């Protein structure tokens, strides 16, 4: 257990540090409420304006609305950019300190990214549940609200899948971090990731609503495991073997990215040069 103590300390210190930014969390919540409402209105226009197409849709309007609020509440889970601490370390040269620490650099950066991510998502998802899951029904707008899980088993599978989604997102962030270290520039990869994340996670549109020819590819590609698979498990669009297949895909991509990231980081750190003085 002593071997894990430095990593637990790194996670808790980053988590507690990020939890102090309450104003940022509140601002993010209001922004996500606005974009969530816009998404819901667009989906309502699509479903109510084309009832025949809506009837053939793989997910109902109620499920699509819940998908939207889940996506907004869990927005911070998605790997939009690399860890800003790593980018700052590259600019200042302080990243060299991590070469000297008697710990595994990959594991240290991974748990830091996990602390950074979970601290941003906890307050925002709690506020979103309050606003979209409780206040909207009390206002008589239950049809536009965040609905509860389809069943107890769906809720338990969702918790497992969402935990794996965070693990997968951290593994992707680690690949971004390594690119930042290798190129000594965070701008390029951070700009590139944003459209990829918006489209391939399902943040822009639930992946089930894309054309039939693209659905299989969109479901098996790694970014589906960050948002789309947990969301579909939540409202039972994925059940039984399909749900476990989705969870298996999350585990596969997470393990693959961790192995790839560890190998790549070892090569990059071996060639690391610190300039200046």
Cα–Cα nearest to 113, from 190, 166, 189: 166
pLDDT tens, per residue, the chain with 277 residues = 677 888 999 899 888 888 888 888 888 888 989 999 999 999 999 899 888 888 888 899 999 999 999 999 999 889 998 888 888 888 888 887 877 888 899 999 999 999 999 998 888 899 999 999 999 999 988 889 999 998 999 999 999 999 999 999 999 999 999 999 988 888 889 999 999 999 999 999 999 999 889 988 999 999 999 999 999 999 989 999 999 999 999 999 999 999 999 999 999 888 877 766 5
What residues contact residue 180 under an 8 Å CB cut-off, 6+ apart? 82, 86, 87, 90, 186, 189
pTM: 0.92
Let me know how long the chain is: 277
- The first and second tokens of residue 91, run together, are 């600019």
Euclidean distance between CA atoms 180 and 86, whole angstroms: 8
């Amino acid at each position: 257990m002593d071997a894990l103590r430095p990593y637990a300390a790194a996670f808790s210190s980053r988590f507690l540090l990020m939890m102090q930014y309450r104003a940022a969390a509140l601002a993010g919540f209001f922004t996500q409420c606005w974009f969530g409402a816009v998404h819901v209105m667009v989906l309502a226009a699509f479903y109510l304006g084309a009832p025949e197409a809506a009837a053939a849709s793989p997910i109902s309007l109620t499920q699509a609305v819940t998908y939207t609020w889940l996506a907004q509440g869990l927005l911070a889970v998605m790997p939009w950019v690399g860890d800003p601490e790593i980018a700052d370390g590259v600019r200042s040269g302080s990243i060299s300190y991590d070469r000297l620490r008697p710990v595994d650099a990959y594991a240290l950066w991974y748990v830091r990214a996990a602390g950074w991510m979970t601290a941003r998502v906890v307050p925002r998802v709690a506020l979103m549940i309050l606003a979209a899951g409780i206040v909207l029904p009390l206002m008589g707008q239950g049809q536009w609200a965040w609905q509860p899980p389809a069943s107890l088993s769906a809720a338990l599978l969702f918790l497992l899948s969402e935990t794996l989604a965070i693990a997968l997102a951290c593994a992707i962030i680690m690949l971004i971090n390594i690119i930042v270290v290798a190129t000594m520039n965070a701008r390029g990869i951070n700009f590139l990731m944003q459209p990829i994340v918006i489209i391939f996670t399902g943040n822009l549109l639930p992946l089930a609503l894309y054309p039939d020819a693209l659905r299989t590819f969109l479901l098996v590609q790694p970014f589906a495991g960050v948002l789309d698979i947990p969301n579909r498990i939540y409202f039972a669009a994925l059940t039984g073997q399909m749900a476990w297949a989705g969870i298996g895909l999350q585990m596969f991509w997470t393990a693959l990215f961790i192995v790839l990231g560890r190998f790549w980081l070892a090569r990059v750190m071996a060639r690391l040069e610190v300039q200046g003085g």
